[in-house]
Every structure is written in structure tokens, then in C-alpha cells.
Structure 1
Amino acid sequence: MYLNQIIRTLGTLCTAALLLAAPPLWAHAQQEGSYPEHASSIEGSPEKIAVWFDHAMRLTLFEVTGPDGRVELNNRPGRDMLTRFETTPVAPLAPGEYTVRWRGLAEDGHAMFDEFYFTVR
């Protein structure tokens, strides 16, 4: 009986240690927000296009497409880990629907990607 208590206690301690160590493994970077906001409709061309994350990420792609195809941007992501990326279109955006696609590597090495949409009126 004494040995069973020791085994149960050790099992509980091991489980607790694993649970305490596991959250960093579960924490993949997720998009927290964007500008313009996802599915929003804005009046006129946006002054910036941005995305931000809850954990640092190295963006490998940030692409904006619209009614006339790919939008030329003033800057592209580099090799730095970041929690926010912001750029501006080279020319004002014409009215229409736009898609922003991003892809990156989270600090834990997982490849992440997503997209958001907005409409310029």
C-alpha cells in the first residue's frame, strides 16, 4: 500500500511537470489583428496595411492582391522576428476587394499562414 502511494505521488508530480513544460509547445503564433480589419469596408485607400501577432514570427510572405492583381508595397518583411508588420501601398488603392496573405515561421519553428480581406469604397 505504501508503494502504491509513492507511485501515485510520483505520477502526479510527473504529470504536473509535463503540464508546466507544455504551454510553450502549444503556443503557436496567431494573428491578433489587422489594419484594415478583416472583412471591413473602408472609405478611400488605407494609409497603411498591417498585421500583428500574439508571439514573435519571421514573416516570409506578405502579399496584397486586389481587382488589378498584386499591389506593389513600399516595404517587405525581412529576416527579423516581429510581432507587428506594417507597410504602405506604393500607389493609392482603387475601389474594390483586397486580400492580404501572409506566411511566416513562429518562434517554435511552425509554419503559420492566414489571410484577411477588406473592401475599399
Structure 2
Amino acid sequence: MTASLPRRRSLVAAAIVLGLAAAGPALAHSELHHAEPADGAVLRSSPPAISLMFAMPVRVMTLKLLDEAGRERKLTREGERGAAVAEVRATVQETLPPGAYRVEWRGASADGHVGGGTVGFRVERAAR
């Protein structure tokens, strides 16, 4: 005997809900949740540190700060390297002159998915 149409619809809806619930963590991968400085931020002075916060723990393999000419600026990462963390923080080792900067990161989430991204910000000369 076949299930009635309303029962089949209920079963299909339940399967969709279960499928989406199971896919949720897999879809998140190494998604960047928040950054300091924020993407597009305009700062009046050089930031003392860079922070990246993720939706779920990520093993950040690469973290770079580049100026507008593509030159890498020195960062000192805090915490244990190679550990999966929800936040990675690095101290900026020099005062950044006015200009555009980008933070590039690459990491792997717990499911092995490798991802990355870029966060850009500007340092402007302080008004006198």
C-alpha cells in the first residue's frame, strides 16, 4: 500500500529538514565571522593587532599582512600554531604608515576543507 499524499509530503519535508541540519556544519567550513580591523575599515592610526574570528574552529596555516605595494609587513602570531581555534590574533610589529593594507589568511576546518580570504583596511593620516 502506498502512503497518502499528505504523509508523503510530511516525509519529504522531514528529509529536507534533516538534510539541511546535517549540512549546516559542513557548509560553514572556515567561514570568517568577524575581523578587527573590519573589512573596509578606515583607521586614524596603525592597528596594534589583527584578529580574525571564525564561525567554527579553523587551523590557520597562513596569515599575512600586505601593504598596497604587496610588501609583507611583520606580524607575530599569538597562541599555539597548528591548533584549530575560533580566533587567531597577531600583533603588528611596526607602526603602519598611511595607506591601504590587506590581511590574507588560509586555513583548514575540522572537516578538512581548506579555505581562505582577504580583509582590507586603510590607515589615514591623523588630522592635525
TM-score band w.r.t. shorter chain: 0.7 to 0.9
Q: Which runs of 5+ in 1 are unaligned?
A: none
CA shift, 1:23, in A, is 2.7
- Partner of 2:11, secondary structure, is helix
Larger CA deviation: 85-94 vs 22-31:
22-31
Q: Mean alpha-carbon deviation: is it higher for 19-28 or for 65-74?
A: 19-28
What letter corresponds to residue 4 of structure 1 in structure 2?
T
Moved more, 75-84 or 30-39: 75-84
TM-score, with normalisation over the residues of structure 1? 0.83
Structure 1 residue 5 corresponds to structure 2 residue 3: yes
Deviations 1:45-72 (A, max 9, x none): 1111111111110001100011461101
CA-to-aligned-CA distance 1:59-101 (integer Å, 9 cap, x gap): 0110001146110112277110001111111111111110100
Cα–Cα, structure 1 residues 66 and 22, in superposed 2: closer, same or farther, change >3 Å?
closer
* 2:49 aligned partner, one-letter code: K
Is 2:80 the counterpart of 1:82?
Answer: no
The corresponding residue for 1:103 is 106
CA RMSD of aligned residues (A): 2.3
Q: Secondary structure at the match of 1:63?
A: strand
TM-score using structure 2 length: 0.78
Task: Give 1:63's aligned residue.
Answer: 64
Aligned length: 117
Tell me, in whole angstroms, the C-alpha distance in 2 between the residues paired with 1:56 and 1:35: 17
